[in-house]
A = this chain, B = another copy of it.
Amino acid sequence: MSFCHGLRLLYSQLPLFSRELNRPWCRYVSSSLALSSEKRASDFNSFVPRTNTCGELRSAHVGQEVTLCGWIQYQRQGLFLVLRDFQGLTQIIIPQDEAHSHVKKVLYDAPVESVVRVTGTVTSRPPGQKNPRMPTGDIEVKVKTAEVLNSCKKLPFEIKDFIKKSESLRMQYRYLDLRSFQMQHNLRLRSQMIMKMREYLCYLHGFVDVETPTLFKRTPGVCMLLVIHPGLLQSYRQLTCSCGAFNFNCRYFQVARCYRDEGSKPDRQPEFTQIDIEMSFVDQAGIQKLIEGLLQYSWPNERGPITIPFPSMSYAEALAEYGTDKPDTRFGMKIIDVSDVFRNVEIGFVQNAVNKPQGTVKAICIPQGARHLQNKDFEALKESAKSQFNQEVLHLILKPDESLKSPLRKFLSEEQQSELIKALKVQADDVVLLAAGEHEKVCLVLGNMRLESANLLELRGLVLRDPTAFHFLWVVDFPLFLHKEENPAELESAHHPFTAPHPSDTSLLYSEPAKVRSQHYDLVLNGSEIGGGSIRIHNAEQQRFVLETVLKEDPELLSHLLEALKSGAPPHGGIALGLDRLICLVAGAPSIRDVIAFPKSFKGRDLMSNAPDYITPEELEPYHIQVAWPAAEAEANKN
């Protein structure tokens, strides 16, 4: 056999491929495999007519006869090709001698992305042609037989990670997009993390995986009627809360599909997956410890270790310091109350604010803001506060000469100016954003300004939020009830009506329910809420009081729950983690759609199959259902 070594372009010499192989996910593919094979080596070749995957062969295999199956990633002039499967890439040398002219023709004629099976001998690459950046870069396979299992038409895009594709194109051809190493890696990472969670729960802590129904009755607070697209006939109901009925077992979990009735946002999907955990005899600290252990156990090696226990913060503190219930603690710029500085300052809007109940003046300090941000940035920030919250925000700059630059300056005494600088620890070139008004509103505005300023600074090239850092945070001590927006005299549940009151506040429940804190807890990672749960009420009388007296609900609708509580329900609590969002953060993916095999688009549509689709009246008849279109939509559908 004669192989034209001199002529062929070697894989290592193709700059595009080399670039691809240098990307960080190449490392993940091998390291995450190590994760799955901690117990036993996975056999990827069982039950199929191949001897190896395309990611497996090394110098140790030289001389072996192998059979590989894969997709043609690249083919060059009938001399060699690169075969790809879900495990990697292998260079294949096409025989040039007459005796193998059939093999050469088969492989030469096969379009890129065709599926082939080849048999041949593993050989060492000639000196100087090894590719150290490719796991199989020491070897190549000299082919003896080849068979095209399926030919491939011209594709709308190439299956190479360095090819940029619009998201809508990726969604329309999801079955192609899923062949990319990045999607393969994300889905494998997802599978492995969830499997490790199951191990932790089942094998280490005696949990039972129990499947609960998705078809359930509509009950207040625990159920939602979900219709994916108004007028299209998908109505889904689900009992989302693990109510008293699960008391039968001390330790229950489920990886459950859930549905929500809203469009798809970058971090939301109409279908999503969560792990539900429910335990008897547990308190808040117990659930937190369990979850910390769960995340530590399932955390992929490639992301480095995480430290437990996670820090904890009350909801009041999170609101006051970060202006949100999901603080991103990877960076500072906390909200600081400067009401005391401004109490005697004669500015109308400040006086108006501080003299009202809950009135405050607060500020955040953007370090080195004057160097990186321009006037148009400050105007954009102020405009955003105005349009989103109807709130005025002022900005002050500390000049290099340590004097304040701001229209406010003339209203502040020298002493007040230095008090302000001290309170905010302002340094030269720092920018202060200041707002006056009711406590909660000012916090929310400044929390928002904090994130928007961080985005602006990062657009300018600064790194405030380390993308390799994972900051977990428990947010606790939420209020149990909130005043209804439309009628502040009435209360509604802050989370759901089964949440137990904080043990220190139980007596307040009967006197001042609005002041009661709950035993609800949220888990936040890098500013995203990835989970939430609570200790539930197990006392039937307390549950009835909450439903009937505080929330004015008809308790008959929940009679089966009240009956269950009276029938020896143990104290219990639980938590649910949103797996799509968690895994998106772990994978460092830009959207949860990158960790879901078949996601829906922004509008809840599946661009591949074009679902949801219309159903004809004839198809609906057996179900006694009719669709009554609003006039405008009916008109549109006719066309």
Contact = CB atoms under 8 A, between A and B. Distances in A.
A557 to B, nearest CB: 10
Given A204-B42, A215-B228, A217-B606, A248 B612 contact: no
Given A233-B625, A248-B178, A257-B257, A217 B281 contact: no
Interface in A135-185: 149-153, 155, 173-176, 178-179, 183-184
A71 interface: yes
Interface stretch (A18-26, A484-492, A563-571): A563-571
Interface string A585-618: 0000000000011101000001011111101000
A613 B217 contact: yes
A231 interface: yes
A203 B571 CA distance: 37
Given A570-B69, A626-B628, A610 B236 contact: no
Contact of A245 (B234, B279, B608): B608
B622 A230 contact: yes
Identify the 6 closest CB pairs spanning chains A and B, nearest first. A217-B611, A178-B248, A47-B286, A152-B568, A42-B206, A44-B206
A46 to B, nearest CB: 5
Contacts of A246: 175
Contacts of A289: 47
Given A48-B281, A175-B564, A569-B115, A625 B625 contact: yes
A464 B270 CA distance: 52
A250 interface: yes
Given A149-B538, A215-B611, 8 more contacts: A47-B205, A48-B286, A175-B248, A184-B249, A213-B598, A214-B257, A235-B623, A560-B608
Interface string A230-260: 1101111101000011111111000001010
Contacts of A46: 204-205, 290
A202 interface: yes
Interface stretch (A33-41, A364-372, A418-426, A441-449): A33-41
Interface stretch (A190-198, A397-405, A546-554): A190-198
A469 interface: no
A191 B255 CA distance: 12
A282 interface: yes
B86 A249 contact: yes
18 contacts: A39-B39, A40-B203, A44-B250, A46-B290, A150-B539, A150-B571, A155-B568, A175-B564, A184-B248, A187-B208, A187-B249, A191-B202, A195-B209, A212-B597, A217-B612, A227-B625, A234-B235, A560-B609
Contacts of A625: 227, 231, 233, 235, 625-628
Interface in A28-84: 36-37, 39-40, 42-44, 46-50, 69, 71
Interface in A116-152: 117, 149-152
A611 B216 contact: yes
Contacts of A356: none
How many copies altogether?
A: 2
A538 B114 CA distance: 12
A47 B215 contact: no
A176 B596 CA distance: 38
A203 to B, nearest CB: 5
Interface of A: 36-37, 39-40, 42-44, 46-50, 69, 71, 85-86, 113-115, 117, 149-153, 155, 173-176, 178-179, 183-184, 187-188, 190-192, 194-195, 198, 202-206, 208-219, 225, 227-228, 230-231, 233-237, 239, 244-251, 257, 259, 270-271, 273, 279-283, 286-287, 289-290, 538-539, 560, 564-571, 596-598, 600, 606, 608-613, 615, 619, 622-630, 633
A465 to B, nearest CB: 29
A176 B568 CA distance: 9
A567 B152 CA distance: 5
Contacts of A279: 47-48
A400 B44 CA distance: 62
B623 A47 contact: no
A215 B271 CA distance: 8
Chain B CB count within 10 A is highest, among A208, A247, A271, for A208
Contacts of A86: 248-250
Contacts of A286: 47-48
A574 to B, nearest CB: 12
Contacts of A606: 213, 215-217
B211 A596 contact: yes
A244 to B, nearest CB: 7
Contacts of A214: 257, 271
B613 A36 contact: no
A39 to B, nearest CB: 5
Contact of A210 (B150, B191, B237): B191
Given A195-B202, A567-B175, A568-B115, A615 B236 contact: no
Nearest to A44: B206
Given A214-B271, A215-B228, A235-B623, A43 B149 contact: no
